Amino acid sequence: MRVPKAFTLAELIVTVVMLGALTFVAVPRLSFGSRAGRQAELTARKIATDLRRTRSLAILHAAVNAEGFALRIKATNKGTEYEIVDLRTQAVVDVHAVGVDVSIGGRTSFAFTPLGALKEQNDPVLTVSGAGQTFTIRVTPGTGAVRCTEDTKT
């Protein structure tokens, strides 16, 4: 008796058709909202990290830059972006785009003194939202400490 060593064309076609049918049924049921929520979390953590970086730059360059550094959030024709700016020369140190699935609210400028404190004391809060998730970034005015927390639904 002869043992087959390969699949026939008919077997391959049936297998591909079955996989196609399963994919056709399964893909619409997948939840892509979690991707947008993850994007909001990543954006919030990235902004918090860049706020810490801005504060560190202000402290690091304190001997030559009495003005400090700032992180500014702005809307452009391509969407929302934020930049780190040297306040003495107004030179842009770095620019980052924010995903279209993510919205940012609250304060739009965080300026740090050479000692690492915020220049403006009022309302140092920023919110980042996407796909039903909201993250709050708070900066302590006196110390410049940055904290990012997820807002929980009650």
Identify the structural domains of the chain with CATH numbers, from first to last.
33-151 (3.55.40.10)
At residue 37, the pLDDT reads 63
CA pair distance 50, 72, nearest whole angstrom: 11
pLDDT at 111: 95
Compute the distance between CA of residue 95 and CA of residue 107 in angstroms, rounded to an integer: 17
CA–CA separation, 44 and 10 (whole Å): 52
Question: Percentage of the chain with pLDDT > 70?
Answer: 91
Instruction: Say if residue 74's pLDDT is above 70.
Output: yes
pLDDT at 131: 80
How are the residues of the chain apportioned to helix, strand and coil, as percentages rounded to the nearest 5?
30, 30, 35
Query: How far is the C-alpha of 74 from the C-alpha of 80, rounded, in Å?
Result: 6
**Residue 101 near residue 39, CB atoms below 8 Å:** yes
Element (H, E) at 110: strand 109-112
The most confident of 34-48, 79-93, 116-130, by mean pLDDT: 79-93
pLDDT digits (tens, 9 = 90+) for 97-126: 988 888 899 999 999 999 999 998 788 899
Distance CA 82, CA 50 (A): 10
- Give CA–CA dist 137/88, Å, rounded: 26
- Residue 4 tokens read as 């087959």
90 DSSP assignment: -
**What Rg, from alpha-carbon coordinates, does the chain have?**
25
Confidence of residue 154 (pLDDT cuts 50, 70, 90): very low
